Amino acid sequence: MHDHLAPATMVDSDHPAVIAFAQQQAQGATDTQRAVALYHAVRDGFRYDPYNTALTTHGLKASTVLATGVGWCVPKAALLAAACRAAGIPARLGFADVRNHLSTARMRQAMGTDVFYWHGYAELWLDGAWRKATPAFNLQLCQRFGLLPLEFDGLSDAIYHPFDRSGARHMAYLAQRGSFDDVPLAAMLADFHTHYPAWMADMARHQAADFEAETRTEAAAKP
């Protein structure tokens, strides 16, 4: 388990801010209780923003999420993994390709698809098994879009529901990418350039977009 406890470049569990966050939020008598507390602290304490996609080493660091207060699935998973490592809980990152039905019209047009390659989540070693924990969508966003918020109990995997509250399609897992001790940035960038050429060519403009405003507008327009 040494590699799953050691700091990494983007899962920077040795950063003072990450250590302080873990000490404050990892409340409980057991590793499972502390992991569940950290999961909710990351899920709801940091706003999900897929436009906040600084595809750089610095942009994907756990400590950067702490500094900015926002993140998309990969850096939020990196923060959860880093905080768990700082709390003495072995952790790594898992990745999958998913068809994501929670995306705005503008985002789908810019990406040219509703498939999210290299969707990230954390994997935590609890009671002798790896448990998947996906802290991406904060509770407020789920409530706005009528989604079932992902709850993590440390006993089973917390991966996205296939349907939302109304029964509409929400998330479909298409392919598993495997597990990593740090963010595989080079591989991600190669696939993003292949699958999202327009997005990658105009990254600065997309980063300036307001996902929060888009979700409010689309949620208000729902019947």
Window from 5-19, 91-105, 171-185 with minimum mean pLDDT: 91-105
**Does 76 map to a domain?**
yes
**Does 189 map to a domain?**
yes
Contact between residue 74 and residue 185 where contact means Cβ atoms under 8 Å apart: no
* pLDDT bucket at 176, cuts 50 / 70 / 90: very high
* pLDDT bucket at 167, cuts 50 / 70 / 90: low
Q: Which residues contact 86 (CB under 8 A, 6 or more apart)?
A: 13, 14, 18, 19, 21, 22, 23
Window from 106-115, 128-137, 139-148 with minimum mean pLDDT: 139-148
Please check the confidence at residue 102 and state whether its pLDDT lies above 80.
Answer: no
* pLDDT bucket at 146, cuts 50 / 70 / 90: confident
Contact between residue 103 and residue 53 where contact means Cβ atoms under 8 Å apart: no
Mean pLDDT of 196-219: 78
pLDDT for residue 222: 64
Secondary structure of residue 97 in the 3-state scheme: strand
Number of domains in the chain: 1
pLDDT for residue 204: 77
> What is the C-alpha to C-alpha distance for residues 94 and 77, in angstroms, rounded to an integer?
9
pLDDT for residue 26: 98
Mean pLDDT of 103-112: 79
* pLDDT bucket at 106, cuts 50 / 70 / 90: confident
> What is the C-alpha to C-alpha distance for residues 77 and 60, in angstroms, rounded to an integer?
10
Contact between residue 131 and residue 157 where contact means Cβ atoms under 8 Å apart: yes
The residue ranges of DSSP E strands in the chain, in sequence order, are 47-48, 70-71, 91-100, 115-126, 129-133, 171-180
Task: Quote the domain boundaries for residue 184.
Answer: 2-218
Please check the confidence at residue 211 and state whether its pLDDT lies above 70.
Answer: yes
pLDDT for residue 100: 75
pLDDT for residue 7: 98
Contact between residue 39 and residue 158 where contact means Cβ atoms under 8 Å apart: yes
Q: What is the CATH number of the domain that holds 58?
A: 3.10.620
* pLDDT bucket at 42, cuts 50 / 70 / 90: very high
Please check the confidence at residue 63 and state whether its pLDDT lies above 70.
Answer: yes
Q: Which residue has the higher pLDDT, 59 or 214?
A: 59
**Does 69 map to a domain?**
yes
Window from 83-87, 91-95, 163-167, 188-192 with minimum mean pLDDT: 163-167
- Can you say how many angstroms the Cα of residue 195 is from the centroid of all Cα atoms in its chain? 20
**Does 223 map to a domain?**
no
